[in-house]
């Protein structure tokens, strides 16, 4: 079940969103509607049930959409946050909370439906699992939680934020298995999750956590090209 939260202080906008969702009959989507950021956060604190997708009005009295998103993102790095706004200037204030898209007001049904389906596709990609074995034990890790793979002799290191795994496999086998719209090879020994890239120089990929991954000359142009395509898709271009 995909859980979606809609937050806007306007009853007319909430009614519009309910109407739009009724036109997208997906049995695996469960929607909840809130009239303030505080109402949403109180509900989440009480139920201990986070959502997968959040549509947040930016300009709300009390706890606005940006502050609501900051609280959500501090608890969940992988959820999808979409801002509803009629103010262009807000776009430059929210990148720390990693928004997925911006939906401009007044709302438009085709634009809403397009962004909603993109959010579902994004969730599906990031929740897809990478499978591997260590001895007789099987593991499965969501793509969205992987920072990069590093070849170390006959083994590969799978690096996450707070843990890592070493297992026997070849990096080229992993390259064939993972989603190549999300992962890019930047070196004979490295496959990197493009969602984790902060910047790219001639010789290094800098990750959002500050780690530096080498780029070899062979892969430099491909990395830049694929990352640009990824950023365009990520920004809805």
| Strand 155-159, strand 164-168: pairing | antiparallel
Torsion of CA 128, 159, 80, 120, to 10 degrees: -10
Q: What are phi and psi of 44, to 5 degrees?
A: -65, -40
Residue 192 to residues 37, 157, 179, 197, Cα–Cα distance (Å): 35, 12, 11, 8
Which domains occur in the chain, in start order? 2-126 (3.40.50.2300), 130-234 (2.40.50.1020)
**pLDDT for position 184:** 96
Residue 94 has pLDDT above 70, yes or no: no
pLDDT value, residue 31 = 96
pLDDT given at position 46: 96
Residues 190-208: tens digit of each pLDDT: 999 998 998 999 899 999 8
User: Are 23 and 32 a contacting pair, CB within 8 Å?
Assistant: no
- CA dihedral (87, 45, 1, 194) in degrees, to 10, reads 60
Average pLDDT for 213-221: 94
Are the CB atoms for 35 and 11 separated by under 8 Å? yes
The structure's pTM equals 0.78
164-192 pLDDT, tens digit each: 999 999 999 999 999 888 999 999 999 99
137 membership: H or E segment, kind and range: strand 137-142
């Amino acid at each position: 079940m995909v859980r979606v939260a809609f937050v806007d202080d306007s009853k007319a906008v909430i009614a519009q969103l309910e109407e739009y969702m009724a036109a997208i009959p997906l049995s695996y989507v469960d929607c909840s509607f809130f009239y303030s950021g505080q109402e949403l956060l109180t509900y989440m604190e009480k139920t201990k049930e986070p959502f997968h997708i959040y549509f947040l009005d930016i300009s709300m009295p009390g706890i606005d959409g940006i502050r609501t998103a900051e609280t959500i993102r501090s608890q969940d790095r992988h959820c999808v946050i979409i801002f509803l706004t009629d103010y262009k200037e807000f776009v430059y204030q929210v990148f720390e909370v990693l928004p997925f898209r911006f939906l401009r007001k007044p709302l438009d049904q085709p634009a809403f439906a397009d962004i909603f389906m993109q959010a579902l596709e994004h969730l599906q990609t990031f929740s897809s699992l990478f499978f591997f074995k260590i001895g007789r034990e099987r593991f499965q890790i969501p793509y969205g939680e992987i920072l990069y793979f590093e070849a170390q002799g006959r083994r590969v290191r799978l690096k996450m934020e707070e843990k890592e795994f070493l297992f026997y496999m070849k990096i080229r086998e992993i390259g064939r298995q993972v989603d190549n719209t999300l992962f890019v090879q930047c070196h004979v020994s490295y496959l990197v999750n493009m969602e984790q890239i902060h910047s790219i120089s001639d010789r290094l990929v800098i990750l959002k956590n500050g780690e530096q991954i080498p780029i070899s000359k062979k892969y430099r142009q491909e990395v830049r090209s694929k990352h640009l395509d990824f950023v365009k898709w990520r920004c809805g271009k």
